[in-house]
């Protein structure tokens, strides 16, 4: 990035600027003709760049420059109308701004870089003869998609809105959840060519300032040409680049983001994608779905325990089956052993090969189901699963118990709420299966110890990955081991550095704990029962 | 640098992949031994195994469900090894739940045969042992009606609620102590009455085998077997039939002994050892051929007394048989060592079984028949017309 | 504080961004600059290798794991052989020995905080004297880890994978050791946080499950054979407690102040309790004779679990609960060896020695013992002689040297706050209970021969004493921690 001192008379081409950043060195000249020439150069071969020249009263020349599709056409007409019927001989831009234009958002720019950033974001630039400042009218255009239910994270009970691609809509959705000025949205621009708007949101007063600084610093270090999705950012900012486990959580729902912000985390939203990132993350929060917090705690606790059991099944299911059926047949009850043996009589492969074939087919089915359009996708998964599976069993290529085990482990891996965690689990199944096939249960145990050792060493922005179980912090276990009812969760999780640790006042919580619920003063509980 | 490291790593790992998994046995390369038998043939042992046959799923095989094979050898494992030489699948013993020992072998002593039971990791100490009348391999060969494998039927019989549970661990414990002897279920092969198919025979539990050290010396049957239920730490229910005097005739009544507690206390008074057995029993009437209505207290008293007499006789029969053969099937020696460790060590432990014959047993029984079932007397009995 | 003495992870810039250093001189003082530990922790996400800290609970669990886990596999057989039914009383003597080692470490920690045992040796005995002492300790630890590897390999070879060559099994285990050798004791303490409670609490479901086979009344009573089995049992059990010495390698990472002593005490009592319960189960279910003849009584014990046909063969499941804890113990000894080796250089960074040491141990352990049985014999009969013979004189020597050195530069010890009697009284209770336990053994032995009822009562008293002593030591730990926290709050 060489910054050269530009001469204001040079055309853009001669200046040889590559990035929008570099345009910041070119300042707006007072001569409208020059500006017009430069802007026309920029608009060369760009059919959606619109330049509208007009004249104010007193024949002061001016022009408006906007991008069709990004700026709202009707509002541009409206602004034009306002200016063109202007009376009173105002030719100073500041005067026009303050007295005439009834546009809600306005800002100024004095160089081409800022002007371009604004225009490319949807603003309209107003150049007036004789002014070195450009007025940027914020009349951004229509949104691309309506707010709808996110596809990745559907809930039975809970809000049905999800983020969309436009970042202003996203921040507005978030702002609706937390109506406080302390919800800060810090803007950044990342990406040399894409100049993507990135917004870092946090709750000031709850979050640790160091965390925010750290996040900002890590993102500022990113020096890439385009950020198309939050996944790009994720890979740049995580603590351990080689680990299969995600150290950053992503979500499409504003309520998840809001809840995370209230726990002292920081969210990163990127323009152009509905996926927002949340840092830092712990392994146990990857196992939690936000629906847990909307339903009653008994149900949520049971489902949580089921998830943990299924996590173990997903990780160790096939491996355990391989280990037990080839090395430790004494573990199985006799009748089960005999029925497994009879179902494997015709199968030519050893158990490991069978398992690998089935696992890989399962992954292929899943992937194919994602890529295909919805209508065909359903049919393929049913076809693949039922028909082909049954046919394979009958032809003697795989055995029925193996299909059950692999399907069970696959379904178990889908109960993990976060997709990236379930991918990690599915990937790790394969080495475990190989280890199990060589060493039996000893192999699985070695794999378990190594895996756990890896997890224990991971950190996400400084927070140990397995908090609150290791390092053990018993008060925080109430949200991990079970889901404590809301009136018990007085404090925020303590393994995060926080400035404000209390979530709620004591009064009601103590009352509920003491009386086992609320009892109304205005309702008379001692009414005699009707029905004598 | 990384290239070098990974090269070395792969070089070192590849031998592991070349050799293959050493312990891996596919399920279809296994012959699961569900029961084994132990006979004597001349100087050698004859070991028989029962192996279920695996038919492919969906195949319409109606063939035999299991097969039996046996082989001779000086030790058990040698016989098994010879047997393996003609089997295409590897035998595993970890599912062997029944070990049938023939009476002949038991008379000579079961200790040598039990060495391999704990030595190999395959074997289970939770297996049950059965002494067979006659050849052990016949017991394996019987194909009872209910279960497809005779091993299964033997095991289920041993697990019935009124059979004393004895597994190999108990036998080992009784054998390695001075103050106890094992008792083991004793079965024989019988035919159903009327005769069924040609080779369908049943196995029947006859009683309990009585051991002196590790040699079989007798069998507890009938009354003595009933008595054996009492002299244990945990009571096991059983059924008994009493004869009650009614007028001039004796009528039978069958009672299930539901609950019982027995306390065996050794007592040494003035240097003389005696055992006090205190028994409390509760019975439930299963079937009554009496004419009297059992609702009335006086009838119940009669039955209670007959019940007590019956229990006492059972215990006495058991003790008498134990004393006759100089065995200690009820951990009496261990009880003595717990109560009087000094006397046990110095006086009794050396000649325990010899002195057993003279030890008096004082048996006290308190029994009542508290449960009558759903009726108090036979519903078809005529009512009394005045 | 020196911020450059920070990075454990490769080349990097010092936090002050002025001096660049490579991995090898990461732990030397290069450029003193002030930065707080919080900043370092936060910005790098890694606790520097010489600033690791284990908290008190992790310490007590670490100690318990160190002592309990491998003895589970190897010792009960020889114990039952030596002591018969009185094996349940065999833990009390070694507990007292372990407490002596605790006190020794506490004294060292008082005088030389922030230094581990090996560095202290160098400091007090000079370059050559310290080297000799360290080599002796190193040799002891090296022998121990070879025994561990052999024991585990023998166990798996005998019970589960009978045909796999033992070298390969050891290789897999060594891979775990090498992996953890590249991290610090903090991460192993965190793993232990997870697996040790599972192990310890898992002993109690075992109890529940074998209850139907638990016939204590069929076994010979306690205390009948006089004092001989009891002191033989204590003597053999000493083999398991020699590992306490290994904790000396981590003295720089442990909490300072009395909390240290109290946590270790709690850990020792925990492991004694757990082991006693397991031995009791072994005696009650299998009997002392079978326990003595079987190589792995604990494994046979869980083999006896037979609740219904379904819950029949749970021993592999129980093994998979025990195994991570056993692996953790071996890793601790491995880390201690690494720290010892690193103390010979100027650096505290031992991670570069991890892989070579792993291969070395793999090779030597394959060659050193002739099979699991010789390991058991060595552990049961040779170790109880070696441990007091080497450790006691060493401890005495080091302690004398430390006091001598410190006598010259006396005076400046910080005023330690007086610990209120409320907390100290729990410690006194613990000691009294242990004393009562010893007394109960004495009474039982003296009178149990004549009056067997008294013997049984004394056994119950002993059990209760152990249980309550463990409980009280836990109370002491908790209360002392609260006290420390309150003190620190007052200071700020």
DSSP state of C417: P
Q: Is the pLDDT of residue A105 over 90?
A: no
Q: Identify any residues that bridge with B285 across adjacent strands, giving them in sequence order.
A: B255
Query: For chain A, what is the mean pLDDT?
Result: 83
Taking the C-alpha atoms of residue C331 and residue C179, their distance in angstroms, rounded to an integer, is 9
Task: Specify if A502 maps to a domain.
Answer: yes
Structural contact between residues A264 and A492, judged by C-beta atoms closer than 8 angstroms: yes
C294 has a chain B CB within 8 A of its CB: yes
Please state, for a pLDDT cut of 70, what percent of chain B lies above it. Answer: 94
* Half-sphere CA count of A343, side-chain side, radius 13 A: 17
Smallest Cα distance from C323 to chain A, Å: 7
Q: Is the pLDDT of residue C64 over 60?
A: yes
Taking the C-alpha atoms of residue B330 and residue B365, their distance in angstroms, rounded to an integer, is 18
Chains adjacent to B (≥3 CB pairs closer than 8 angstroms): A, C
Taking the C-alpha atoms of residue B308 and residue B298, their distance in angstroms, rounded to an integer, is 15
Answer whether B21 sits within 8 Å of A344, measured CB to CB: no
Instruction: Looking at the structure, tell me whether residues C231 and C272 fall in a common domain.
Output: yes
Instruction: Looking at the structure, tell me whether residues A258 and A312 fall in a common domain.
Output: no
Q: What pLDDT, on a 0 to 100 scale, did the predictor assign at position B24?
A: 81
Could you read off the pLDDT of B239-270 as tens digits, one per residue? 888 888 777 888 888 888 888 888 888 888 88
Nearest to C45 among A443, A453, A462 (CB): A462
B352 has a chain C CB within 8 A of its CB: no
Chains adjacent to A (≥3 CB pairs closer than 8 angstroms): B, C
C309 has a chain B CB within 8 A of its CB: no
- CA proximity to A268, closest of A336, A303, A225, A222: A222
Q: Out of C29-38, C232-241, C423-432, which region has the weakest mean confidence (pLDDT)?
A: C29-38
Q: What pLDDT, on a 0 to 100 scale, did the predictor assign at position A269?
A: 93
Q: How confident is the model at residue A201 (pLDDT cuts 50, 70, 90)?
A: very high
Q: What are the chain B neighbours of A330 within 8 Å (beta carbons)?
A: 92, 94-95, 122, 124
Q: Is the pLDDT of residue C414 over 90?
A: no
* Ramachandran bin of B222, using left for φ above 0, alpha for ψ from -120 to 50, beta for the remaining angles: left
Top mean-pLDDT range of A263-272, B120-129, C395-404 = A263-272
Give me the CATH number covering residue C264: 1.20.1740.10
- CA proximity to C239, closest of C375, C106, C369: C375
Smallest Cα distance from A421 to chain C, Å: 21
Tell me which H or E stretch contains B362.
strand B361-371
Instruction: Looking at the structure, tell me whether residues C320 and C451 fall in a common domain.
Output: no
pTM of the model: 0.85
Taking the C-alpha atoms of residue B66 and residue B49, their distance in angstroms, rounded to an integer, is 10
Could you read off the pLDDT of A420-446 as tens digits, one per residue? 888 899 899 999 998 898 888 999 999
Residue numbers of the domain that contains C29: 1-51
The stretches of chain B forming alpha helices (DSSP H) are 2-19, 76-84, 103-108, 115-119, 136-141, 150-158, 168-175, 222-228, 297-324, 332-339, 341-343, 352-355
Nearest to B28 among A341, A394, A439 (CB): A341
Smallest Cα distance from C299 to chain A, Å: 14
Instruction: Looking at the structure, tell me whether residues A261 and A300 fall in a common domain.
Output: no
DSSP state of A477: G
> What is the mean pLDDT of the segment spanning B345-369?
83
Domain count along chain C: 3
Instruction: Looking at the structure, tell me whether residues C448 and C302 fall in a common domain.
Output: no
Task: Specify if A530 maps to a domain.
Answer: no
Q: What are the chain A neighbours of B24 within 8 Å (beta carbons)?
A: 326-327, 350, 437, 440
Answer whether B57 sits within 8 Å of A330, measured CB to CB: no
Q: What pLDDT, on a 0 to 100 scale, did the predictor assign at position C13?
A: 40
Q: What pLDDT, on a 0 to 100 scale, did the predictor assign at position A527?
A: 65
Could you read off the pLDDT of A462-498 as tens digits, one per residue? 788 888 887 777 778 888 888 888 888 888 887 777 7
Instruction: Looking at the structure, tell me whether residues A276 and A304 fall in a common domain.
Output: no
B29, C423, C427 from C431: Cα distances, Å = 60, 13, 6
Please state, for a pLDDT cut of 70, what percent of chain C lies above it. Answer: 86
Query: For chain B, what is the mean pLDDT?
Result: 83
Q: Is the pLDDT of residue B151 over 60?
A: yes
Q: What pLDDT, on a 0 to 100 scale, did the predictor assign at position A505?
A: 79
Answer whether A449 sits within 8 Å of C309, measured CB to CB: no
Q: Out of B162-166, C243-247, C255-259, which region has the weakest mean confidence (pLDDT)?
A: C255-259
Cis peptide before B194 (omega within 30 of 0): yes
C448 has a chain B CB within 8 A of its CB: yes
Structural contact between residues A154 and A135, judged by C-beta atoms closer than 8 angstroms: no
C178 has a chain A CB within 8 A of its CB: no
In sign, the C-alpha dihedral spanning A436, A441, A446, A448 is positive
Instruction: Looking at the structure, tell me whether residues A331 and A269 fall in a common domain.
Output: no
Instruction: Looking at the structure, tell me whether residues C194 and C136 fall in a common domain.
Output: yes
Instruction: Choose, out of A444, A452, A468, A473, the residue to mutate when testing the contact with C (most C CBs < 10 Å).
Output: A452
Task: Specify if C414 maps to a domain.
Answer: no
Top mean-pLDDT range of B38-42, B348-352, C205-209 = B38-42
Q: Is the pLDDT of residue A1 over 60?
A: no
Instruction: Looking at the structure, tell me whether residues C192 and C216 fall in a common domain.
Output: yes
Answer whether B22 sits within 8 Å of C294, measured CB to CB: no
Could you read off the pLDDT of A290-309 as tens digits, one per residue? 888 888 989 999 999 999 99
In this structure, what token pair is assigned to residue C290?
A: 């079978």
Answer whether B23 sits within 8 Å of C290, measured CB to CB: no
Residue numbers of the domain that contains A515: 487-521
Instruction: Looking at the structure, tell me whether residues A39 and A129 fall in a common domain.
Output: yes
Q: How confident is the model at residue A100 (pLDDT cuts 50, 70, 90)?
A: low
Q: What pLDDT, on a 0 to 100 scale, did the predictor assign at position A428?
A: 92
Residue C380 contacts by C-beta under 8 Å, 6 or more apart in sequence?
C75, C78, C79, C81, C82, C236, C239
Residue pairs between chains B and C whose CB atoms are closer than 8 Å: 76
Smallest Cα distance from A455 to chain C, Å: 9
Domain count along chain A: 4
B16 has a chain C CB within 8 A of its CB: yes
Taking the C-alpha atoms of residue A12 and residue B350, their distance in angstroms, rounded to an integer, is 115
> What is the mean pLDDT of the segment spanning C313-325?
84
Task: Specify if C102 maps to a domain.
Answer: yes
Taking the C-alpha atoms of residue B260 and residue B237, their distance in angstroms, rounded to an integer, is 8
Q: Is the pLDDT of residue C5 over 70?
A: no
Answer whether C290 sits within 8 Å of B169, measured CB to CB: yes
> What is the mean pLDDT of the segment spanning B173-196?
82
Residue B253 contacts by C-beta under 8 Å, 6 or more apart in sequence?
B241, B242, B243, B244, B285, B287, B288, B289, B290, B303, B306
Task: Specify if A337 maps to a domain.
Answer: yes
Smallest Cα distance from C307 to chain B, Å: 11
Instruction: Looking at the structure, tell me whether residues A395 and A450 fall in a common domain.
Output: yes
B232 has a chain C CB within 8 A of its CB: no
Q: How confident is the model at residue A261 (pLDDT cuts 50, 70, 90)?
A: very high
> What is the mean pLDDT of the segment spanning C274-296?
86
Q: What pLDDT, on a 0 to 100 scale, did the predictor assign at position C27?
A: 34
CATH of domain B229-386: 3.30.300.210
Q: Is the pLDDT of residue B275 over 50?
A: yes
Instruction: Looking at the structure, tell me whether residues C388 and C426 fall in a common domain.
Output: no
B164 has a chain C CB within 8 A of its CB: no
Where a domain ends, among A137, A155, A177? A137
Answer whether A346 sits within 8 Å of B24, measured CB to CB: no
Answer whether A351 sits within 8 Å of B27, measured CB to CB: yes
Q: What pLDDT, on a 0 to 100 scale, did the predictor assign at position A242?
A: 86
> Which residue is listed with tokens 């609740």?
C307
Instruction: Choose, out of A242, A312, A315, A457, the residue to mutate when testing the contact with C (most C CBs < 10 Å).
Output: A457
Q: What pLDDT, on a 0 to 100 scale, did the predictor assign at position A91?
A: 61
Taking the C-alpha atoms of residue C146 and residue C77, their distance in angstroms, rounded to an integer, is 20
> What is the mean pLDDT of the segment spanning C56-71?
84
A209: buried, middle or exposed (CB in 10 Å: 19+, 13-18, 0-12)? exposed
B53 has a chain C CB within 8 A of its CB: no
Chain C: residue whose CA lies nearest to B94? C313
Taking the C-alpha atoms of residue B188 and residue B205, their distance in angstroms, rounded to an integer, is 7
In this structure, what token pair is assigned to residue A386?
A: 């039922």
Residue B160 contacts by C-beta under 8 Å, 6 or more apart in sequence?
none
Chain A: residue whose CA lies nearest to C54? A471
Where a domain ends, among A234, A249, A281? A281
Q: Is the pLDDT of residue B62 over 70?
A: no
Please state, for a pLDDT cut of 90, what percent of chain A lies above it. Answer: 18
Taking the C-alpha atoms of residue C478 and residue A403, their distance in angstroms, rounded to an integer, is 51
Task: Specify if A391 maps to a domain.
Answer: yes
Where a domain ends, among A118, A137, A156? A137
Q: How confident is the model at residue C135 (pLDDT cuts 50, 70, 90)?
A: very high
Answer whether C220 sits within 8 Å of B342, measured CB to CB: no
Q: Is the pLDDT of residue C454 over 70?
A: yes
Task: Specify if A267 maps to a domain.
Answer: yes
Could you read off the pLDDT of A133-179 as tens digits, one per residue? 888 887 776 667 788 888 778 888 888 889 988 888 888 889 888 88
Q: Between residues A385 and A358, which one has the greater pLDDT?
A: A358
Answer whether B338 sits within 8 Å of C221, measured CB to CB: yes
Instruction: Looking at the structure, tell me whether residues A349 and A492 fall in a common domain.
Output: no
Smallest Cα distance from B117 to chain C, Å: 11
Chain C: residue whose CA lies nearest to A496? C42
Pairing relationship of beta strands A183-190 and A196-203 according to DSSP bridges? antiparallel
Taking the C-alpha atoms of residue A82 and residue A88, their distance in angstroms, rounded to an integer, is 13
Answer whether C161 sits within 8 Å of B23, measured CB to CB: yes
Smallest Cα distance from A334 to chain B, Å: 6
Structural contact between residues A260 and A202, judged by C-beta atoms closer than 8 angstroms: no
Instruction: Looking at the structure, tell me whether residues A374 and A449 fall in a common domain.
Output: yes
A511, A516, A529 from A524: Cα distances, Å = 18, 17, 12
Task: Specify if A162 maps to a domain.
Answer: no
> What is the mean pLDDT of the segment spanning A308-320?
93
Instruction: Looking at the structure, tell me whether residues A250 and A398 fall in a common domain.
Output: no
Task: Specify if C413 maps to a domain.
Answer: no
Q: Out of A1-5, A260-264, A317-321, C69-73, which region has the weakest mean confidence (pLDDT)?
A: A1-5
Q: What pLDDT, on a 0 to 100 scale, did the predictor assign at position A531?
A: 59
Taking the C-alpha atoms of residue A137 and residue A83, their distance in angstroms, rounded to an integer, is 13
Instruction: Choose, out of A342, A397, A404, the residue to mutate when testing the contact with B (most B CBs < 10 Å).
Output: A342
Instruction: Looking at the structure, tell me whether residues A342 and A204 fall in a common domain.
Output: no
Q: Is the pLDDT of residue C22 over 60?
A: no
Instruction: Choose, out of B27, B59, B94, the residue to mutate when testing the contact with A (most A CBs < 10 Å).
Output: B27
Taking the C-alpha atoms of residue B79 and residue B91, their distance in angstroms, rounded to an integer, is 12
Q: Between residues C92 and C424, which one has the greater pLDDT?
A: C92
Instruction: Looking at the structure, tell me whether residues A451 and A336 fall in a common domain.
Output: yes
Instruction: Looking at the structure, tell me whether residues C172 and C318 fall in a common domain.
Output: yes
């Amino acid at each position: 990035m060489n910054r050269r001192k530009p001469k204001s008379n040079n055309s853009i081409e001669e200046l040889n600027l590559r990035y929008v950043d570099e345009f910041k060195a070119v300042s707006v000249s007072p001569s409208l003709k020059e500006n017009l020439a430069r802007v026309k150069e920029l608009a060369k071969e760009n059919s959606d760049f619109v330049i509208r020249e007009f004249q104010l009263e007193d024949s002061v020349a001016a022009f408006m420059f906007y991008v069709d599709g990004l700026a709202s056409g009707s509002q541009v007409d409206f602004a034009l109308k306002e200016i063109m019927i202007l009376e009173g001989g105002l030719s100073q831009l500041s005067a026009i701004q303050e007295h005439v234009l009834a546009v809600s958002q306005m800002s100024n720019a004095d160089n081409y870089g800022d002007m371009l950033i604004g225009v490319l974001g949807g603003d309209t630039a107003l150049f007036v003869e004789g002014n070195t400042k450009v007025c940027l009218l914020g009349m951004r255009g229509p949104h691309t998609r309506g707010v709808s239910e996110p596809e990745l994270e559907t809930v039975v009970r809970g809000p049905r809105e999800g983020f969309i691609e436009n970042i202003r809509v996203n921040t507005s959705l978030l702002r609706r959840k937390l109506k406080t000025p302390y919800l800060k949205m810090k803007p950044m621009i990342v990406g040399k060519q894409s100049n993507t708007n990135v917004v870092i949101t946090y709750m000031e007063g709850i979050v640790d300032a160091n965390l925010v600084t750290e996040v900002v610093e890590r993102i500022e270090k990113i020096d890439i040409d385009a950020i198309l999705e939050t996944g790009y950012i994720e890979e740049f900012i995580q603590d351990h680049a080689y680990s299969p486990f995600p150290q950053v959580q992503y979500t499409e729902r504003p309520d998840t983001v809001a809840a995370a912000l209230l726990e002292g985390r920081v969210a990163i939203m990127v323009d152009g994608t509905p996926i927002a990132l949340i840092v830092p993350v712990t392994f146990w929060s990857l196992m939690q779905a936000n629906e847990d917090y909307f339903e009653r705690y008994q149900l949520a606790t049971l489902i949580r325990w089921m998830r943990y059991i299924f996590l173990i099944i997903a990780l160790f299911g096939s491996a355990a089956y391989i280990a037990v059926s080839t090395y430790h047949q004494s573990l199985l009850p006799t009748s089960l052993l005999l029925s497994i043996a009879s179902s494997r009589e015709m199968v030519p492969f050893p158990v490991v090969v069978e398992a690998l074939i089935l696992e890989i087919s399962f992954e292929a089915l899943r992937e194919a189901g994602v890529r295909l359009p919805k209508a065909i996708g359903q049919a393929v998964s049913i076809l693949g699963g039922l028909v082909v599976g049954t046919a394979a069993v009958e032809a003697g290529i795989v055995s029925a118990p193996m299909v059950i085990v692999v399907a069970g482990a696959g379904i178990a891996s889908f109960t993990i709420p976060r997709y990236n965690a379930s991918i990690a689990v599915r990937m790790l199944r394969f080495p475990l299966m190989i280890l199990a096939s060589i060493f039996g249960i000893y192999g699985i145990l070695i794999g378990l110890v190594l895996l756990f050792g890896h997890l224990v060493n991971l950190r996400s922005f400084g927070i140990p990955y397995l908090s609150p179980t290791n390092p053990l912090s018993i008060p925080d276990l109430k949200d991990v081991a079970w889901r404590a009812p809301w009136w018990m969760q007085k404090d925020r999780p303590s393994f995060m550095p926080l400035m404000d640790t209390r979530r709620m006042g004591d009064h009601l919580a103590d009352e509920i704990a003491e009386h086992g619920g609320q009892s109304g003063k205005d309702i008379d509980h001692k009414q005699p029962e009707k029905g004598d | 640098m990384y290239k070098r490291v990974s090269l070395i790593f792969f070089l070192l790992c590849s031998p592991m992949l070349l050799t293959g998994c050493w312990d891996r046995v596919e399920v279809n390369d296994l012959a699961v031994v569900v029961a084994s038998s132990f006979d004597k043939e001349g100087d050698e042992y004859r070991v028989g195994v029962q192996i279920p046959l695996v038919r492919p799923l969906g195949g319409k095989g109606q063939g035999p469900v299991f097969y039996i094979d046996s082989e001779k050898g000086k030790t058990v494992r040698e016989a098994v090894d010879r047997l393996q030489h003609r089997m295409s699948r590897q035998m595993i013993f970890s599912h062997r739940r029944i070990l049938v020992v023939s009476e002949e072998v038991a008379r000579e002593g079961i200790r040598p045969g039990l060495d391999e039971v704990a030595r190999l990791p395959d074997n289970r100490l939770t297996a049950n042992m059965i002494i067979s009348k006659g050849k052990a391999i016949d017991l394996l060969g019987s194909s009872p009606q209910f279960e497809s494998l005779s091993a299964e039927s033997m095991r289920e019989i041993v697990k019935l609620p009124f059979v004393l549970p004895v597994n190999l661990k108990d036998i080992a414990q009784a054998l390695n102590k001075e103050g106890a002897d094992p008792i083991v279920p004793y079965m024989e092969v019988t035919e159903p009455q009327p005769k069924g198919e040609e080779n369908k025979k049943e196995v029947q539990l006859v009683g309990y085998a009585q051991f002196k050290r590790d040699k079989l010396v007798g069998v507890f049957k009938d009354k003595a077997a009933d008595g054996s239920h009492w002299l244990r730490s945990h009571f096991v229910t059983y059924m008994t039939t009493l004869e009650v005097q009614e007028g001039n005739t004796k009528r039978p009544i069958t009672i299930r002994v539901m609950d019982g507690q027995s306390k065996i206390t050794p007592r040494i008074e003035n240097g003389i050892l005696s055992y006090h057995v205190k028994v409390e029993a509760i019975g439930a009437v299963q079937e009554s051929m009496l004419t009297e209505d059992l609702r009335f207290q006086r009838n119940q008293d009669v039955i209670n007394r007959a019940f007590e007499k019956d229990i006492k006789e059972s215990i006495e029969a058991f003790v008498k048989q134990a004393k006759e053969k100089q065995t200690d099937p009820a951990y009496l020696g261990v009880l003595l060592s717990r109560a009087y460790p000094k006397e046990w060590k110095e006086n009794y432990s050396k000649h325990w079984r010899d002195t057993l014959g003279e030890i008096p047993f004082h048996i006290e029984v308190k029994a009542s028949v508290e449960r009558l079932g759903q009726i108090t007397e036979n519903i078809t009995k005529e009512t009394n017309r005045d | 504080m020196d911020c450059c003495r920070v990075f454990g992870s490769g080349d990097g810039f010092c936090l002050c961004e002025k001096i660049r250093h490579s991995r090898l001189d990461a732990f030397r003082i290069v450029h003193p600059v002030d930065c707080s530990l919080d900043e370092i922790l936060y910005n790098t996400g890694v606790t520097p290798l010489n600033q690791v800290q284990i908290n008190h609970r992790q310490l007590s669990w670490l100690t318990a794991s160190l002592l309990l886990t491998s003895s589970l596999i190897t010792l009960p057989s020889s114990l039952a052989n030596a002591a018969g039914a009185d094996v349940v009383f065999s833990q009390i003597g070694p507990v007292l020995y372990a407490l002596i080692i605790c006190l020794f470490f506490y004294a060292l920690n008082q005088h030389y905080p922030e230094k581990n045992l090996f560095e202290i040796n160098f400091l007090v005995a000079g370059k050559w004297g310290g080297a000799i002492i360290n080599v002796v300790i190193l040799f002891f630890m090296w022998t121990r880890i070879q025994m561990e590897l052999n024991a585990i390999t023998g166990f798996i070879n005998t019970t589960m994978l009978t045909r796999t060559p033992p070298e390969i099994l050891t290789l897999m285990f060594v891979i775990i050791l090498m992996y953890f050798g590249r991290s610090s004791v903090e991460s192993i303490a965190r793993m232990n946080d997870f697996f040790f409670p599972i192990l310890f609490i898992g002993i109690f479901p075992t109890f529940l499950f074998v209850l139907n086979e638990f016939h204590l009344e069929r076994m010979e009573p306690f205390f009948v054979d006089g004092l001989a089995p009891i002191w033989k049992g204590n003597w053999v059990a000493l083999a398991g407690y020699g590992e306490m010495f290994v904790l000396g390698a981590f003295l720089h990472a442990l909490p300072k102040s009395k909390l240290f002593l109290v946590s270790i005490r709690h850990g020792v009592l925990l492991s004694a309790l757990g082991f006693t319960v397991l031995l009791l189960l072994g005696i009650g279910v299998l009997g002392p004779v079978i326990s003595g003849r079987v190589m792995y009584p604990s494994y046979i014990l869980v083999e006896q679990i037979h609740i219904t046909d379904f819950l029949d063969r749970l021993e592999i499941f129980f093994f998979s609960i025990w195994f991570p804890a056993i692996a953790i113990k071996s890793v601790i000894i491995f880390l201690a060896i690494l720290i010892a080796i690193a103390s010979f250089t100027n650096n505290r960074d031992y991670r570069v020695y991890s892989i070579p040491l792993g291969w070395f141990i793999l090779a030597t352990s394959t060659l050193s013992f002739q099979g699991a049985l010789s390991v058991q014999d060595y552990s049961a009969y040779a170790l109880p002689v070696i441990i007091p013979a080497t450790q006691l004189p060493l401890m005495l020597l080091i302690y004398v040297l430390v006091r001598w050195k410190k006598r010259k530069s006396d005076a400046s010890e910080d005023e330690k706050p007086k610990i209120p009697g409320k907390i100290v009284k729990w410690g006194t209770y613990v000691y009294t209970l242990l004393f009562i336990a010893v007394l109960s053994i004495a009474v039982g032995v003296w009178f149990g021969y004549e009056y067997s009822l008294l013997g049984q009562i004394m056994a119950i008293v002993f059990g209760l004493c152990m249980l309550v002593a463990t409980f009280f030591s836990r109370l002491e730990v908790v209360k002392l921690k609260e006290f420390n926290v309150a003190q620190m709050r007052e200071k700020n």
